[in-house]
Amino acid sequence: MTAPTVPSSAPSSAGTDASRGLPFLVELDRDIRSTTRETAAVIAPFTGEGLHALPLSSEHDVADAYARARLAQIAWARSGFAHRRAVLLRAHDLVLSRREELLDTLQTETGKTRGHAFEEIFQAAGVTRYNALAARRVLGGERRRSGLPALATTRVRYRPKGVAGVITPWNFPLSLAAMDVVPALASGCGVVQKADNQGALSILLLRRAFIDAGVPADLWAVVTGAGATIGSAVTAGADYVCFTGSTATGLTVAEQAARTLTGASLELGGKNPMIVLDDVDPHRAAAQAAYACFSSMGQLCVSIERLYVQRAVSEQFLREFVTVTRALLLGAGLDYRADVGTLTSQAQLDRVTEHVADAIEHGATVQAGGRARPDLGPYFFEPTILTGVTPEMLCSASETFGPVVSVSIVDTEQEAILAANDSDYGLNASVLSGSARRGLRVAAALEAGSVNVNEGYRGSFSSVAAPMGGVKGSGLGRRNGPEGLLRFVNPVTISRATGLLPLPTTGAGFARMAGPMVLLARTLKTLRRR
């Protein structure tokens, strides 16, 4: 694999080390649950060349993975919070100490810049640390007020659901794996994870750190293959399902899980808006907007694809936004020189190209970018700003999932809010303002699971102690925070009669107790006791 040659006139930093080998790939094959002889080609997006032949799993392999995980889960659940905490904290340290190998793999497999890949390492470590330290507090059980004070006591305990089925995409393999797998492990569950073929190597390397830290190998199984081949088997075998991907596929997963009353959390598509208010510093706002739109080449569920700018600042902001975007360095090096990398596949390039071409055909104007860069690599595409986007254009309402953003001018806050909320999606949103109070006020009116003020997505995305998820067509359930742990357990209410006073069991007994019980209810209400 060789680095692409970059003309001196191109705003790029391709580097010379993108051909650095990944000698451990063959070793990782042993960590995939596969008894078939079938393989799938994993490409290196920087060059389009073959990177690895990935073994594929069958439905039988999925069933075997669940069987082994269930046996391992029994001992893991009984090991206790202290043991699981120690193991996960060791994994946290191994992830950080092995970051260079993880970064090389992640870049080579996804086409990210090293900076964008580092976000994933930091996120995976943060998720691991939070869940290791929070699990006992969140899931340790607690006393609850009894409806019969002094006559009965009540406690709530949490029992692990069993083995979770986790289905993750290729775009953020480390972050998205960690946000579902780690809380499952911390809660005492096992995991069977279906990794997207293009992100499997990064996931397997992350898993290796956890196994070396003390997680039983059978407890976290990884299977690979097309969704049409093994996806249903992963969902059918799970005691709880975590899915990240498109809304269309998510609906299919939800329907299948519902047939067996299996719980599910779904993080689905987004068409995320950013509002730029008229009190911003245009240059600073432009830099924030560019990162929010073009990080990981827009191949991020929470990246911004719609910008609504108040008219009073629109001309200056757009000028600065175009300048910042055109100055972004495209590159394929395994270092920190490049600002943006490449799209991950031909399918991604085709979708982005189609959306931009359709917008131009219907009258949109390209303010920056708008073209592929085959001189840098097969899937490079310039970060693109469009104005004049109208509802009939593909990029207006449907998710591009690439480095394309539309900019629209609005006159008032209310107009901006209505436009931002006019979407079938509601995953992430952003508000840029010179006033924290004003920004927070506008943020409170936006229909999204996460809203960032004076940042694009990293504030909420990195807040692993707070819930993350979507509304409307962007998903169901939440990951991260206490909510992310609680989805992997079943609450069990245990009540014990104290024997202080026998409860009535006959009509005569109820006749004697009715008056005192009514008095008790009124007294509790007066005392504001729940």
Per-residue pLDDT band at 11 (split at 50, 70, 90): low
| pLDDT for 530 beyond 50 | yes
The pLDDT assigned to 2 comes to 33
Per-residue pLDDT band at 20 (split at 50, 70, 90): low
State the DSSP H helix or E strand holding residue 394, giving kind and residue range, or none if neither: helix 394-397
Average pLDDT over residues 423-429: 97
Lowest mean pLDDT among 27-36, 131-140, 447-456, 504-513: 27-36
Full 3-state SS string of 49-91: EEEEEEECCCHHHHHHHHHHHHHHHHHHHHCCHHHHHHHHHHH
Provide the annotated active-site residues.
Answer: 267, 301
pLDDT tens, 136-170?
Answer: 999 999 999 888 888 899 999 999 999 999 999 99
φ, ψ of residue 490 in degrees (nearest 5): -105, 125
Tokens of residue 83, six digits: 């043991």
Task: Report the side by side order of strands in the sheet with 190-195.
Answer: 220-224, 190-195, 163-168, 240-244, 263-267, 475-476
Mention the CATH class of domain 28-268+482-486.
alpha beta
Average pLDDT over residues 5-11: 34
**What's the chain's average pLDDT?**
93
Name the residue with higher pLDDT: 3 or 116.
116
| pLDDT for 342 beyond 60 | yes
DSSP-derived 3-state class of residue 500: coil
Going from N- to C-terminal start, the domains of the chain cover 28-268+482-486, 272-464, 506-530
The pLDDT assigned to 524 comes to 85
pLDDT tens, 468-493?
Answer: 999 999 999 999 999 999 999 999 99
Per-residue pLDDT band at 412 (split at 50, 70, 90): very high
Per-residue DSSP letter, 504: P
Measured CA to CA in angstroms, residue 92 lies from 118, 132, 175, 279, 483 at distances of: 15, 9, 13, 41, 21
Average pLDDT over residues 385-399: 97
The pLDDT assigned to 16 comes to 38
Tell me which residue of 123, 489, 478 sits closest to 267, measured CA to CA: 478
Lowest mean pLDDT among 25-29, 119-123, 292-296, 338-342: 25-29
Tokens of residue 378, six digits: 């097969």
Per-residue pLDDT band at 180 (split at 50, 70, 90): very high
Average pLDDT over residues 234-260: 96
Tokens of residue 197, six digits: 């073929």
State the Cα–Cα distance between residues 229 and 34, nearest whole angstrom: 13
Average pLDDT over residues 270-278: 98
Beta bridge partners of 430: 274, 452
Per-residue pLDDT band at 6 (split at 50, 70, 90): very low
Mention the CATH class of domain 272-464.
alpha beta
Q: How many residues does the chain have?
A: 530
pLDDT tens, 185-231?
Answer: 999 999 999 999 999 999 999 999 999 999 999 999 999 999 889 99
State the Cα–Cα distance between residues 263 and 242, nearest whole angstrom: 9
The pLDDT assigned to 529 comes to 75
The pLDDT assigned to 149 comes to 86
The pLDDT assigned to 18 comes to 44
| pLDDT for 522 beyond 50 | yes
Q: Is residue 103 within 8 Å of residue 450, measured between CB atoms?
A: no
| pLDDT for 81 beyond 90 | yes
Q: Is residue 419 within 8 Å of residue 468, measured between CB atoms?
A: no
pLDDT tens, 168-178?
Answer: 999 999 999 99
The pLDDT assigned to 24 comes to 62
Per-residue pLDDT band at 8 (split at 50, 70, 90): very low
State the Cα–Cα distance between residues 53 and 382, nearest whole angstrom: 30
Angle between helices 81-97 and 99-110 (to 10 degrees): 70
